[in-house]
Amino acid sequence: RTVYVNGAYLPEEDAKISIFDRSFIFGDGIYEVSAVIGGKLVDCEAHLARLERSCGEIRLALPWSKAELVAVHEELIKRNSLDEGGIYLQVSRGAADRDFAFPTDATPTLVMFTQERNMSSAPAAKTGIKVVSCPDLRWARRDIKSVNLLGPVLAKQFAAESGAQEAWLVEDGVVTEGASSTAWIVKGKTLISRPLSNKVLPGITRKAVLAYIGETDFTFEERTFTLDEALDAEEVFITSATSLVMPVVQIDGHTIHNGAPGPTAIRLREIYLDFAK
Ligand code: PDD
């Protein structure tokens, strides 16, 4: 694989960053993951807008324009002949001797790489995925896409050990979101997902789905829901740049929609893919 590090395209074995990099030492960095479908970037502008917002919130001045970042995305797709998968981007405050407060002289580090993944015909979309719930142990600014991911790492490991593909993070009985996805439930033609706030990452896929349902008879109800409500829901699904729209057929061992993907999630996935292609 060819990866990108601070202006250079290199074979992954040759890519290096400092052990003093602040994303390594402090988790002082921001990331983005965008999907590539049929060799095309999906919603790259929106991901880069969220990157700018996240960086602004931690006062990290990005030295690259959006156009420059899009160009690196495109170049990586080309150099790796990437048809389906994703692009990971990470920016950190840079390398400096270890000291908590911001360094005065560090230059931000930018790292990007591609990952091949079956997107439009992901086998999991045919069967649906299993979810387990666990307490939400994350910090109070989950709207910032920071590389501090220990909470989600532990939650995903719990899911993996439970034979599930995603963990739903729960706080005071309410589902905040998936460890790396937005959580949705369905009642009739109504799609339910919680309002944006400091408690959740504002999902780009969530936003795209909401834009696309304008042309359908689905309506959106923006509110929190409890885990109990999800267990009783007609359908459940998640959205993210890695899963797109993914039906959920089990939560904590409790079967959803007879254990098969429901028509709403299937339809939304089709609509999403139609627009993405
Ligand atoms: N995760 N919520 C959390 C906590 C996430 O980490 C993500 C994405 C989402 C969905 O956001 P989007 O639709 O913009 O991908 C919601 C990425 C895919 C990841 O960490 O791999």
Among 81, 116, 151, the domain-final residue is 116
Amino acid 169 reads L
Atom number, ligand 1, closest to the C-alpha of residue 239: 13
Distance 263 CA to ligand 1 centre (A): 23
For tokens 């690259």, name the residue.
64
Which uninterrupted H or E stretch holds 62?
Answer: none
Statement to judge: residues 103 and 204 lie in one domain: no
Statement to judge: residues 130 and 254 lie in one domain: yes
pLDDT truncated to tens, each residue of the chain (277 aa)?
999 999 999 999 999 999 999 999 999 999 999 999 999 999 999 999 999 999 999 999 999 999 999 999 999 999 999 999 999 999 999 999 999 999 999 999 999 999 999 999 999 999 999 999 999 999 999 999 999 999 999 999 999 999 999 999 999 999 999 999 999 999 999 999 999 999 999 999 999 999 999 989 999 999 999 999 999 999 999 999 999 999 999 999 999 999 999 999 999 999 999 998 8
The whole-number pLDDT of residue 231 equals 98
CB contact burial 182-210 (16+ within 10 A = b; e otherwise): bbbbbeeeebbbbeeeebbbbbbbbbbbb
6 in contact with ligand 1, CB cutoff 6 A: no
The residue count of the chain comes to 277
- The catalytically annotated residue of 130, 145, 156, 199 is 145
Q: Is 66 an annotated catalytic residue?
A: no
Statement to judge: residues 127 and 264 lie in one domain: yes
4-13: long-range contacts (C-beta < 8 A, 24 or more apart)? 4/72, 4/75, 4/76, 4/110, 4/111, 4/112, 4/113, 5/109, 5/110, 5/111, 6/109, 6/110, 6/111, 7/110, 9/75, 9/76, 9/79, 12/113
| Cα separation values, 195 from 141, 176, 223, 244, 260, Å | 15, 10, 6, 19, 27
Statement to judge: residues 233 and 268 lie in one domain: yes
- Give the mean pLDDT of the chain: 97
Statement to judge: residues 154 and 98 lie in one domain: no
Pocket test for ligand 1, best of 170, 201, 268 (most atoms within 8 A of CB): 201
Rounded to two decimals, the ipTM of the complex is 0.99
Among 70, 101, 116, the domain-final residue is 116
Q: What is the pTM of this model?
A: 0.98
Pocket test for ligand 1, best of 87, 136, 182 (most atoms within 8 A of CB): 182
Q: Phi/psi at 235 (nearest 5 deg)?
A: -145, 155
Among 116, 147, 177, the domain-final residue is 116
Distance 105 CA to ligand 1 centre (A): 31
Cα–Cα distance between 116 and 114 in angstroms, integer? 7
The whole-number pLDDT of residue 265 equals 98
CA-nearest residue for atom 8, ligand 1, is 180
180 in contact with ligand 1, CB cutoff 6 A: yes
Statement to judge: residues 81 and 141 lie in one domain: no
Domain that holds residue 34: 2-116
SS3 state at 25 = helix
Distance 152 CA to ligand 1 centre (A): 11
Model confidence over 10-45: pLDDT tens digits? 999 999 999 999 999 999 999 999 999 999 999 999
| Cα separation values, 103 from 52, 107, 110, Å | 20, 9, 17
Backbone conformation region of residue 258, classed left if phi is above 0, alpha if psi is from -120 to 50, else beta? left
Q: State the CATH number of the domain containing residue 189.
A: 3.20.10.10
Cα–Cα distance between 196 and 26 in angstroms, integer? 26
Statement to judge: residues 241 and 143 lie in one domain: yes
CA-nearest residue for atom 16, ligand 1, is 181
Q: Domain total for the chain? A: 2
Cα–Cα distance between 82 and 88 in angstroms, integer? 13
Distance 48 CA to ligand 1 centre (A): 14
SS3 content of the chain, % helix, strand, coil (to 5): 30, 30, 35
Q: Which two tokens stand for residue 254?
A: 């409790």
Statement to judge: residues 265 and 149 lie in one domain: yes
Statement to judge: residues 128 and 263 lie in one domain: yes
Gap between the terminal Cα atoms of the chain: 24
Model confidence over 183-220: pLDDT tens digits? 999 999 999 999 999 999 999 999 999 999 998 999 99
SS3 state at 182 = strand
| Contacts with 214 (C-beta within 8 Å, 6 or more apart), sequence order | none
Handedness of CA 85, 204, 46, 69 (dihedral sign): negative
